[in-house]
Structure 1
Amino acid sequence: MENTHRDDCLVTIVGAGPVGLCLGLGLARQGTEVLLLEKNPDTAEHSRAPAIWPATQEILADLGVIDQFLQQAITVPRLSLQDVDKQRTLFCAPLAQLSDITSYPQLLVLPQSDTEAILRDALLQQPTARLRFNCKVESVSQQQQGVQLSYTAPEGRRRAQCRIAVGCDGGKSLVREQIGAALEGKTYQAQAALADVDIEDSAHLPFPRLTTSPALAIGIRMTDNRWRLILPFAPGDSIPLDQRIEEAVQSLFGKPYHNVWQSEFRLHQRLSTLFSQGAIVLAGDAAHLNSPVGGQGMNAGIIDASLLGPAILAALDKGTDAPLHHYAQSRRDEIQSGVNRFTDKLTRILLWRQGRMIRLVLSLANMAMAVPPVRRRILKKMAMLT
């Protein structure tokens, strides 16, 4: 997969996650020479962000890859949250009712590893794209004629000269650090864990599934028998993660399971003080971090890429960085008032009194969904079509 052609190009993208791959694919489909540098040996191995909302599906259609996603993903036109403790539907979001404003009125559930693999394979088919793994960028500097990057590759130290550089290198972004920007915001007190588990003969079970016995846990099916568990917990909770996973599986499914992957993390809401400087731009988690509640983080990053691509093409065509700065300011404002505010509200609701009020809150929200204008507004917000 590694390519040893020359390093100079028009656009260099640091990071080959979903955001970097979408941006690179979009530019390459327009004939722009683009180089992607990824520090890891390949795309993601684990599921990470599995939710793909309608607005993102429209972008994937524009990139020519939506058919592969529809073939591999679980399609959810009616999102119905099941309360397994009380054997009832707690909240229902009929996304299919958005068919008048989108061609994809549904949620797609697909492990991020599969998302990245589809995008990677599509990118490698583009003659103007080069994708290099095992390449760790060490410095990014603005030059008179563009941007210079220094990186370590398997064959040694290398340099790349480009007109525009984009940091799609995640929450610990080196590119953001290099332009002197800070990721400001807050870290929530509560923590969370994720786990992917295989449960035999579970493909028929409705999802998402919720339990509060003995603690709040949510299960989302990602493939036939593989489920994502979401496990919020209070700071200082001394219960081992393996025990939390076992208790959640027994409450949600009552079946034997095999643990595939697990991770504990903190929840953040943060925004970079700068989205661009000169010909260096940020997108995705490098520019903004939001709580995973609502499943909008990866989607917001892919939307970044869809908006940044035309700005890059305009900057290259006009020979000015002005379109990049316009993208940076407008997108920063949109993220602050949009996805960050929305996911913050959802997170605070989820964590209110350590999740003990979630049934009441979701029941009230479900009552609100009975009012057509309110339902419409909520569905558009969830689908990221506002």
Structure 2
Amino acid sequence: MDNRIDTTCVIVGGGPAGLMLGLLLARQGHDVTVVEKHADFLRDFRGDTIHPSTQQLLAELGLLDEFLATPHSDMSRVTLSWHGAELTLADFSRLPTARRVMSFMPQWDFLDLLAAAAARYPGFHLLRSTRIDEVVRDQDRRIAGVTGSGPEGVVEIRAALVIDASGRDSVLGASAGLMPVGVAAAMDVLWFRLPKAASETYPFVQAGAGMIITIDRGDFFQIAHVIPAGSWTGSDDDVARMKERIRSISPRLGEAATGLEVDDVHLLRVRLERLRRWYTDGMLCIGDSAHAMSPAGGVGINLAIQDAVATARILGPILGRRAPRPRDLRRVERRRAWPVRVTQAVQRGLQGPLLSTTEPGAPVPLPLRMLRDHAALARVTGRFVGLGVRPERVE
């Protein structure tokens, strides 16, 4: 084949997990190729929370100053407005990290930062506008690369290791025979934008009759509205019901949403699932390709990045000597599967409260009252959200 590339590791997917892993492996001196199907990273309604654990990793990589120089906003604690009464859900002030805040940065800016840092290493290569369709196997049926199409036609990439970091809708896992274990999701999320007037603010989380998350983007608000799973068909009636729910949660926000139409609303179908097995001979899945997360807590990006760090630490030294064997890939899964299971269990438990509807004046639910009345509990939830169950270190 004319357009054949040989590399040590090919990573399919230029998201947070893929680019972080590419950076770390190139930093170790490996030849690594990251393949991204889009021409750039400019997609809206993607997760943009950068947790304290990820900022700690950036500090270890010497990238924290570059991160802080990129426009962002910080939140030292996550607060919730329950029918107008504010309480703290998570407090990051006691974390043992370089920064004790959760930051908000458009994901495309964060990905540009990682890609630019990785490009400083001669072994790093980023192929844009290249769609990978299937795996390539050798004569022993071991996965030995991937094939797809790019700007110059068909492309084949041969590698000692294939990493699938292409996200929850990956086609590679299925083509390699890796099947997910589904966990029923009770909710979906509607995303939309609202204009912002100068100095206008809203609470980050508003609840009591469903839930709304408001992210301040500077010149507009990005809104996430949690709804029961399968209840959105994209009709005008759906939009009318959505506006009524928003108005019951936040009358002021409901007024701002009056002009929304069907085309303004984007649906995220929440899936809580993970692969039965994350690997096969020659290929490993990480991030959303291995475990689709709920947006609750915004932890998906940071779990994916921690997968990448563990993968680089475990497999990087092996790649310097030989192709990783299945038992090597299994070490990564064993390291990361437990925090994924714990996090998904918590997210599953949150689905009911996130969808609950109460009338103004109704008692605050017991878990929220406990957080309100015991500050130490908010620090515990802050550690869970900010660090994760099993944080990883670069070295």
Q: Normalization by structure 2: what TM-score? A: 0.84
Amino acid at match of 2:223: L
* Residue 325 (str. 1) matches residue 325 (str. 2): no
Q: CA 1:202–1:241 in 2, change beyond 3 Å: closer, same or farther?
A: farther
User: Distance between the aligned counterparts of 1:298 and 1:355, measured in 2?
Assistant: 34
Q: Matches of 1:375 and 1:210 in 2, distance apart?
A: 17
> How big is the shift at 1:376?
3.7
Secondary structure of residue in 2 paired with 1:188: coil
| C-alpha distance in structure 1 between counterparts of 2:62 and 2:283, whole Å | 27
Pair 1:236–1:49, CA change in 2 (3 A) = closer
Identity, in percent, stands at 22
Distance 1:182 1:40, change over 3 A: same
Select 2:99's aligned residue among 100, 104, 126.
104
Cα pair 1:17 1:44 within 8 Å, conserved: no
Q: CA deviation at 1:385?
A: 4.2
- 5 Å matches for 1:142-161? 142-143=137-138, 147-161=144-158
Deviation at 1:70? 2.3
Distance 1:122-1:279 versus aligned 2 partners, 3 A rule: same
Local SS of the residue matching 2:214: strand
Deviations 1:7-55 (A, max 9, x none): 1110100010111111111111222111111112221321410212111
Q: Deviations over 1:262-295 (max 9, x none)?
A: 3113222101111111220001110001211111
CA contact (8 A) 2:287 2:304 kept: yes
Distance 1:192 1:89, change over 3 A: same
Q: How does 1:372-383 map to 2 (within 5 A)?
A: 372=376, 374-383=377-386
In the other structure, the counterpart of 1:210 is 206
Match of 1:115 in 2: 110
- State the distance in 2 between where 1:53 and 1:79 align: 12
* Distance of 1:160 and 1:278 partners within structure 2: 17
| Distance change (3 Å), C-alpha of 1:209 and 1:352 | closer
Judge conservation of contact 1:8–1:162 (CA < 8 Å) in 2. Answer: yes
Residues 73-115 of structure 1: CA deviation (Å, up to 9, x unaligned): 21111322234x43x31335331122xx222211111122222
Distance 2:273 2:243 in 1: 28
Residue 393 of structure 2 corresponds to none
Gaps of 5+ in 1: none
CA contact 1:194–1:263 (8 Å) conserved in 2: yes
Partner SS for 1:49: coil
TM-superposed deviation, 1:306:
0.8
Per the alignment, in what secondary structure is the counterpart of residue 173 of structure 1? coil
Shift of residue 300, structure 1, vs aligned partner: 0.8
User: In the superposition, relative to structure 1, how do residues 368 and 279 fare at CA in structure 2: closer, same or farther (>3 Å)?
Assistant: farther
Q: Please tell me the residue identity of whatever aligns with 2:384.
A: K
Alpha-carbon offset, residue 302 of structure 1: 0.8
CA distance in 2, matches of 1:114, 1:362: 36
Looking at structure 1, the residues matched to 334 and 358 of structure 2 have their Cα atoms a distance apart, in angstroms, of: 36
Q: Kindly indicate whether residue 278 of structure 2 is the aligned counterpart of residue 275 of structure 1.
A: yes
Alignment-derived partner of residue 170 in structure 1: 167
Q: CA deviation at 1:240?
A: 2.9
Whichever residue aligns with residue 48 of structure 2, its letter is: P
Number of the residue aligned with 1:230: 224
In structure 1, the partner of 2:371 is 366
**Higher mean C-alpha displacement, 219-228 vs 282-291:** 219-228
Superposed CA deviations along residues 341-360 of structure 1, whole A, max 9, x for unmatched, are 22222223212469998942
Output the amino acid matched with 1:153. Answer: G
Alignment of 1:80 with 2:103, yes or no, is no
Determine the structure 2 residue equivalent to 1:293: 296
User: Unpaired runs of 5+ in structure 2?
Assistant: 390-395
- The alpha-carbon distance between structure 1 residues 198 and 122, as it changes in their structure 2 partners (threshold 3 A), is farther
Deviations 1:189-239 (A, max 9, x none): 333211233312145x25314155xx5342333422332212122344664
**1:311 equivalent in alignment to 2:314:** yes
> Does the 8 A contact of 1:81 with 1:208 survive in 2?
yes
Query: Could you say if the C-alpha distance between residues 361 and 195 of structure 1 is closer, same or farther in structure 2, counting changes exceeding 3 Å?
Result: farther
Q: What is the CA deviation profile of residues 278-322 of structure 1, one whole-angstrom value per residue up to 9, with x for unaligned ones?
A: 220001110001211111111111111111111221221342423
Asked if structure 2 preserves the Cα contact closer than 8 Å seen for 1:8 and 1:161, the reply is yes
Q: Could you tell me which amino acid in structure 2 is paired with residue 184 of structure 1?
A: V
Instruction: Give the length in aligned residue pairs.
Output: 373
| C-alpha spacing 1:229/1:29, structure 2 compared with 1 (3 Å) | same
Task: Assess if the C-alpha contact under 8 Å between 1:149 and 1:161 holds in 2.
Answer: yes
Counterpart of 1:183, as a letter, is: P
Task: Say whether 1:91 aligns with 2:88.
Answer: yes
Paired with 1:353 and 1:210, the residues of 2 have a C-alpha distance of: 12
Whole-Å Cα distance in 2 between the matches of residues 351 and 253 of structure 1?
18
Letter in 2 for 1:207: P
Aligned CA-pair RMSD: 3.0
Cα distance in 2 for partners of 1:176, 1:308 equals: 17
- Whichever residue aligns with residue 343 of structure 2, its letter is V
Secondary structure at the counterpart of residue 19 of structure 1: helix
- How far apart in 2 are the matches of 1:130 and 1:355? 55
Map of 2:130 onto structure 1: 135
Contact 1:187–1:266 (8 Å) recurs in 2: no
The one-character-per-residue Cα deviations of 1:90-148 (angstroms, maximum 9, x if unpaired) are: 335331122xx222211111122222222222233332111111111122134358612
- TM-score, normalisation: structure 1: 0.86
Q: Which 10-residue stretch deviates more, 36-45 or 356-365?
A: 356-365
Distance in 1 between residues matched to 2:218 and 2:39, nearest whole Å: 28
Indicate the residue corresponding to 2:177 in structure 1. 180
| 1:201 aligned onto 2:204 | no
Q: Is the 8 A contact 1:47 1:113 kept in 2?
A: no
Q: Determine helix, strand or coil for the equivalent of 1:169.
A: coil
